[in-house]
Amino acid sequence: MTVVFPLPNQNVIVFNSLEFIFRILPVSVLLCALVPGIGFSGVLLFLSLLLYWMADPSFIWLLLAVWLINYMLAWWMGCCRGKTGRRLFLILSVFCDFGLLFGYKFSLFPFLTGSGAIPLGISFYIFRAVSYTADVYTGKIPPELSPFKLCIYLYMFPVMASGPITRYGQISGQLKKNMAPYKVEEGLHTFIVGLAFKVLLADRIGILWHEIQVIGFESISTPLAWMGAFAYTLMLYFDFNGYSLMAVGVGKMLGFTLPENFRYPYAARSFTQFWRRWHITLSSWFRDYVYIPLGGSRKGRVRTCLNLLAVWLLTGIWHGNGWNFLLWGLLLWLLLTAEKLFLRYWLEEHGVWSRLYMLFLIPVTWIVFAVTDLKELAVYLSRMFPVFGPTQGNVNGADFIKYGKMFWPLFLFGWFFSRPWAEDWYKKTKKNPLWMAVLLAVFWICIYNLVNTSGNPFLYFSF
Amino acid sequence: MKIFRGCPVLLMLLVTGLLFSGISVKGERGIYRDIPASAGYEPACAPMMKGIHEGIYPWSAAQDEDPEKKGDGLIRAADAAVLPDLECLNAGTVSGSEIPEAESLSENRCEEDGGSLSENTVKDEGSLSGNETAGTESLSGNAVFCHAEEDYFDDALFIGDSRTVGLFEYGHIEDRAQFYAQTSLMIYEVMENPKAIVKTDDERESVTVEEALSEKQFGKIYIMLGLNEMGFGTPESFGKAYGAVISRIRELQPDAVIYIQSIMHVASEKNETDPVYNNANIDLRNRPLMQLADNQNVFYLDINEALCDETGCLVSDWTFDQVHLKAAYYQVWKDYLLDHAVVRQ
């Protein structure tokens, strides 16, 4: 009997694909559960590399390169007595890691990539690798002597495609078999919540954003432009948070405790707070490995502002190679600097104003993030703020009524679930068997949706 | 079993999963036999999920045991629409000699490869529309295309899918014309689908097109359907179903001018990547539509003339999703219709 995998198939690592839910996940959990203690890591590593290979076989060598470079350099760094030598190894590893990352992100190696494709999850495993060597350099952790443990840390499949960006210190203690039935159950709960966020909220609210692009930005009314910005805001949150929750859930099922990535960012009352709650593992990475090494806020106001600028330009570049991402980083830098210098105190004192401030500025920053074409971005912003330009397109002034009628329940659900109410309620009444029934029903509703849309919400086969 | 005591959701998931898979497997040759499998992977419980989506519930098994009655509603509807009107279609609009011609054309089309195909397509269409114009002149001396003003749409009815919904929303003729348009509307169900919107004089109502056409006489009826149907049937069966609808409309609206609009092409990216919804397949289905035109009461309008670039694809800048026009470009479509108005003398 031969097993034929359709190659390459990105669905194998997409948590909300039927392939992952019904094949990869149960098989992995079962395999890891059946293999006795000592073989667990081997099975996990094998499965993770197999999934990378199934998703995109052309970049396996890159995984091996990043792993070996960081393993060797950190090891040598550990052997060095002098500070200069350690620094040299750090610089060398950072240079190699970021060289690869930039090279692929900006297609600097056409001879290697050919198609110009970006290797799966590269932004994430490079960041994990750099944090590892940097932590070895600062002495936070000793260099890992077992190459396999490091490899699992870099490539374990729950955090493969979109994080969370773990640190070696968080994982190193967990790299032994620690599975239990109750953990599988807990992980399943988290996974179902994440799946529902992605399939029932993000994908559906995303339809409005898609519709607005179909109409063309020049032809949307101002209320619809705002509705679209809110739709994108909610879509991005439930998409990414849903994905992160699924990752945490899968990790839990395998016995790992992965860091949380979102802590109700839309309940924040300033951008400073917001960025401590949004994509936490990325913002804390930039804090620990860019902002603080540059001096943080200890070297005076001007230097603080410049350090923040460096962080936000890099954050912008990390998210994509369009000018709009730089613009987005700059915009956030402006807001955060303003908050740091004077706005913060005012926002802390004025509850209502701080909420309004976030309510209107968050969608604006996300629109700058979302629209990669600068001309189109200008058009969209001029539709949100019609004072900046006359209407160029063919606007149906009643468009927002149609979409409002279609999407208001989703906005309501989105608003409700972007606040901690449901989770608080769940934590208080965890024992209630009704929750089990709810989770079960939600799971099958998600599957129903996935089966009937082939996993692609825009792919209706109907026009 | 002890280990499952702490895992109620996991246990229930396993039980329900087995149950749903069992229902699906049991119904595979029964209630779910007409449910198509997806191209990619899908779990064993997928037929049941798809069945619910189509309105076939696990418990509808007992009452639908009669094999004649059950099955895919769409294909049934198509057959039903085709069969009774087949004779009148043959007698009325399509002459026997034209059918083999259409078939040979489509065979040629299939053999040709991408590059030459689009050229040929354009050429074929050119020659055919040439014929059509000639036909117009010879067949009906009293009808020619000419330019009309917007009030031409005052007694018009538009029937179509989401693209016509777009024309309704962005054509600025919603106060003049009436629309029977709904996303994913198909020719197979167009007469009886009660969900579709007809915008009557001042309110939106959900009535069937059959009712709408029985209640009021229209001067012009514009139809554009066919893209959603591409997953179903063949160009021939599609043409027959379309012909049956045209015949029925003619019965209900003997004085109306009926415009069959060509199925609008898709933009180049989709044309090159989509195995089903591409322009070669669209042209295969436009061909039988051309033949439904008698150029006396029923006219064929090739709107792709106005909306496509030199390669025959929908102009890329005019669309985001490769299928629908952006709002700003519905004017082009409307202008084309106004430039191709039949005025009866």
* Per-residue pLDDT reduced to its tens digit, B85-108: 333 333 333 333 333 333 333 333
| pLDDT per position as a tens digit, A154-206 | 999 999 888 799 999 999 888 888 888 899 999 999 999 999 999 999 999 99
Q: Domain range for residue A325?
A: 182-432
The predicted pLDDT at position A238 comes to 96
**Is residue A453 scored above 60 in pLDDT?**
yes
Of A152, A178, A204, which closes a domain?
A: A178
Q: Are residues A171 and A304 in the same domain?
A: no
- B-facing residues of A in 402-431 (CB < 8 A) are 402
Asked if residue A379 belongs to a domain, the reply is yes
Three-state SS for chain B is CHHHHHCHHHHHHHHHHHHHHHHHHHCCCCCCCCCCCCCCCCCCCHHHHHHHHCCCCHHHHCCCCCCCCCCCHHHHHHHHHHHHHHHHHHHHCCCCCHHHHHHHHHHHHHHCCHHHHHHHHHHHHHHHHHHHHHHHHHHCCCEEEECCCHHHHHHEEEEECHHHHHHHHHCCCCCCCEEEECCCCCCCCCCCCCCCEEECCCCEEECCHHHHHHHCCCCEEEEECCCHHHHCCCHHHHHHHHHHHHHHHHHHCCCCEEEEECCCCCEHHHHHHCCCCCHHHHHHHHHHHHHHCCCCCEEEECCHHHHECCCCCECHHHECCCCCECHHHHHHHHHHHHHCEEEEC
User: Under an 8 Å CB criterion, which residues of B touch A?
Assistant: 3-4, 6-10, 12-13, 16, 20, 38, 40-43, 45-46, 49-50, 52-53, 161-163, 169-170, 172, 183-184, 227-228, 231, 319-321, 323-324, 326-328, 330-331
Judge whether A80 lies within some domain: yes
Residues A367 and A254 in one domain: yes
What CATH number matches the domain at B82-344, 3.40.50.1110, 3.30.1490.20, 1.10.3720.10, 3.90.1150.10? 3.40.50.1110
Spatial neighbors of A451 by CB under 8 A, at least 6 apart, are A18, B42, B43, B45, B46, B49, B50, B53
* Residue A184 at interface with chain B, using a CB cutoff of 8 Å: yes
Higher pLDDT among residues B130 and A117, named by residue: A117
Q: pLDDT at position A456, please?
A: 53
Partner-chain contact A463 B6, CB within 8 Å: no
Using 50, 70 and 90 to split pLDDT, how confident is the model at A37? confident
A174 to chain B nearest CA, in Å?
23
* A171 and A228 inside one domain: no
Residues A356 and A291 in one domain: yes
In chain B, where does the domain assigned CATH 3.40.50.1110 lie? 82-344
Whether A140 and A27 map to the same domain: the answer is yes
CB contact under 8 A, B10 and A440: no
Final residue belonging to a domain, choices A110, A143, A178: A178
Query: pLDDT at position B203, please?
Result: 54
Between CA B333 and CA B341, with CA B335 as vertex, the angle to 5 degrees is 105
Instruction: With respect to residue A461, please indicate whether it lies within any of the assigned structural domains.
Output: no
Could you tell me if A440 lies within 8 Å of chain B, comparing CB atoms?
yes
- φ/ψ of B124, rounded to 5, equals -55, -45
Percentage above 70 pLDDT, chain B: 70
Closest chain B residue by Cα to residue A452: B50
Q: Are residues A73 and A202 in the same domain?
A: no
pLDDT band (50, 70, 90) for residue B2: low
A19/B contact by beta carbon, under 8 A: yes
A185/B9 CB distance under 8 A: yes
Q: Both A105 and A226 in a single domain? A: no
Range with the lowest mean pLDDT among A29-38, A120-129, B69-78? B69-78
Instruction: Give me the pLDDT at residue A73, please.
Output: 94
Instruction: Give the range among A354-358, B83-87, B307-311 with minimum mean pLDDT.
Output: B83-87
Query: What is the residue whose two structure tokens read 């399939």?
Result: A199
Residues A143, A233 within the same domain: no
Same domain, residue pair A172 and A197: no
pLDDT at A11: 78
| Among candidates A184, A220, A395 on the partner chain, residue whose Cβ is nearest the Cβ of B10 | A184
Question: For residue B1, what pLDDT band results from cuts at 50, 70 and 90?
Answer: low
- Which among A182, A216, A452 is the nearest to B7, CB-wise? A182
* Sheet strand arrangement including B257-261: B204-206, B197-199, B178-181, B156-160, B220-224, B257-261, B298-301
Instruction: Name the band, by pLDDT with cuts 50, 70 and 90, for residue B54.
Output: confident
For residue A243, give both structure tokens.
């994905």
When divided into structural domains, chain A yields a total of: 2
Q: Are strands B257-261 and B220-224 parallel, antiparallel or unpaired?
A: parallel
Same domain, A264 and A365: yes
Residue A447 inside a domain? The answer is no
Q: Is the pLDDT reported for residue A217 higher than 80?
A: yes
Chain B residues closer than 8 Å to A11 by CB: 40-41
Q: Are residues A250 and A323 in the same domain?
A: yes
- Please write the tens of the pLDDT for every residue from B139-166: 444 457 899 999 999 999 999 999 999 9
Strand partners, B159: B180, B223
Identify whether A110 is part of a domain.
yes
Residues A90, A109 within the same domain: yes
Q: What is the pLDDT of residue B30?
A: 82
A4 is a domain residue = no
Q: Report the complex ipTM.
A: 0.84
Any domain includes A455: no
Q: How far is B84 from chain A (nearest CA, A)?
A: 27
| CA A135, A140, A145, A146 torsion-angle sign | negative
Q: How confident is the model at residue A110 (pLDDT cuts 50, 70, 90)?
A: low
- pTM of the entire structure? 0.85
Q: Do A181 and B7 touch (CB under 8 A)?
A: yes
User: Is residue A112 situated within a structural domain?
Assistant: yes
What sign for the dihedral angle of Cα B321, B323, B327, B329?
positive
Averaged over B203-227, what is the pLDDT?
Answer: 83
